[in-house]
Structure 1
Amino acid sequence: MAEYTKRGKGWQARVSWHDSFGKRHTKAKAGFKTKKLASIWAVDMEAQLNQGVAVDKSISLYDYYLHWVATYKEPKVSDISMVRYNTTAKNIQDFFGNTNIKDISRSQYQAFINDFGKSHAPSTVQKVNGFIRACVKSAILDDFLIKDFTQGVALVANENKIVKVQYLNLKEIRALLATVENHLSPNFTSRYMIITAIYTGMRLSEIQALTWSDIDWFNQTISINKSWNAVNHQFKATKNKSSVRKIKVNPELLTILQQLKTHSQGTMVFLDQYSTVPTSGAVNRTLQALLTELNITKRNFHFHSLRHSHVALLLAKGIDIYAISKRLGHSNIKTTANTYAYLIDEYKDKTDQQIITALSSL
């Protein structure tokens, strides 16, 4: 129900309604030059009420985003992912300030994407847009919004900000393996972790979390069922459900890991001489020292790049992309194809020749 009141030279509109408990609520707005303008506002409020939107709710996009992250994301995502969510919160605050989430239009959000995209790579823009879109959809479910102002927005990004992923070719992988194996010592487990990454393609947190019970020596498999929280030094769940997997491993890796087991005094595979699991910083320093020793210069190469090198190795050997996807613990083959599209393209000529050979044999 709407009421209109003449106030000085302007008009005020007031809408009222009762909630499911019978309690009466009102929302008013003054300063309309004409009763017609006041009526337009009131009709819009009543339309929103009829669609279940609580028009008396008021919250900024920034505050709702913080609430959404704390409620739905922080309890289950990794520390690294939380850094990304928190950085996005700062991006929202810098551009929108305390603007009410209801007052943001598609054109304003497009302006945000345009501004953000000037200094960020496509993948970063896609990630941030994905976070905000999910947040906005949640706000709609919570009756703060009717329309999704992120819908149909064109993503704009700076192509010059794209960082090409570095990986090792087959020759470089062999050289790295040879160098690492010549300098192995059970006291320094970072080197064993590097070998494990090359042979398995496992994520660093998955390698850090390995226990001896995860290794089936007879069937030559490793079970990946947890990961490692480097902040509180505790086990945590894997990245997602599909990351829980069992992979076949080569005898060479098992022989190398057996060296560690002989000297092991705990349940965890990669405990070092200080009874701790090497951190990301430690393994990356070791990796960089080895690459320097080999005169291999790779810009932006780090421990996770060994996962990309593992994929490059398998593709070079003609391994099917579906098998690679399962080995990596991806939820679907599309994720693998998108992540390693640059590698797949590089091996296209070889694959094309295999196709022609197969067809010619008919």
Structure 2
Amino acid sequence: MPPRSHFLEVLLVFTRLGLTSFGGPVAHLGYFREEFVHRRRWLDEHNYADLVALCQFLPGPASSQVGMALGISRAGLWGALAAWLGFTLPSAIVLVVFALGVTAVGDLGNAGWLQGLKIVAVAVVARAVLGMAKTLTPDRARAALALGAAITVLLLPTTFIQVLVILAAGLIGWRFLPGAGLVGGAELPLALSRRLGGAFLGLFGLLLVGLPLLRQTVGGPFLSVFDSFYRAGSLVFGGGHVVLPLLEAEVVPPGWVTRDAFLAGYGATQAVPGPLFTFSAYLGAVSQVGLNRFVAAAVASVAIFLPSFLLVAGALPFWNALRTRPTVQSALRGVNAGVVGILLAALYTPVFTAAVATPLDFALVLGAFALLEYAKLPPWLVVALSALMGGLLL
């Protein structure tokens, strides 16, 4: 059948996943593997591993990018749209509703439940750092690379430095970390031409450079929101948690969102399924930027995910030729170690420094971490318990 005829199939499957995929990006990849490799057999293990490797290397939310790539493999560009809508809309709608409630409450500075959400965010990010470190920095060389990346980002906390750290980590991996375990298998089932892929990559770069210029010359709240969230989605390596400092720098200093409201939304995002980048819908809805709240939520959501679509659709036509090269595998090893370092820096600031001020705060962090890591409770339940404990004790 023509690829477009599978649009509803992709939409329905990803909507179900968007309603049930709790646990963060690593868990999402597990859900995808079970659904599309084992149950539906849309692609084989080798092809799925290749898609995951590509999306980890590209900036943006890895699980959402893998979903878009799976949609493309099944139904072309229409499939990418269907996968994004299904996987993103459920949590985005919930977070917009939560944002309206936060706005109605007003001053959140002394809310105990808010402190509970800040505390559980520390535990969630700490668990992410630990899990990624075990997988991506198993030897001294990569552990040292991760620590160097963390130190650099902490001492020079700018978006530009984060990008340089990722590039440097990739170069170090290419030069000093020989690739191993190269993946074979058939070519990925794609129907995109290299010319179209090149056009998408060109549009990605054009928007990244052109939007800030338009914002300065034309101005207006629409362009301001679109530029800020597009840039955040373009410069994030390593998944959702790394986007925190970028988004905070875009929305808190200008006064669009208060720091307390920012952290409350991040905590609430842990309680919903789907990608962490749906945090953008909350930030748009809660922001004081001069747009209707629903319009701002939609603009922020589209803008932060648009780079992922352009990069995935642009890179896939070239990936079959690149995926088995040892130099690409080596660069991936370095980039992944650098990601661990950036996550470690984000764990300290803004997450830990904003949440932990007393021994009781730290005790609650440890309790939340234990519930996640050892009791294996679902994240949404730990978030709810932390909010409840914060309301009772803080």
Q: Name the TM-score, length of structure 2 as normaliser.
A: 0.20
Q: Name the TM-score, length of structure 1 as normaliser.
A: 0.21
Bigger proportion of residues as strand: 1
Greater relative contact order, per chain length (Cα 8 Å cut-off, separation 6+): 2
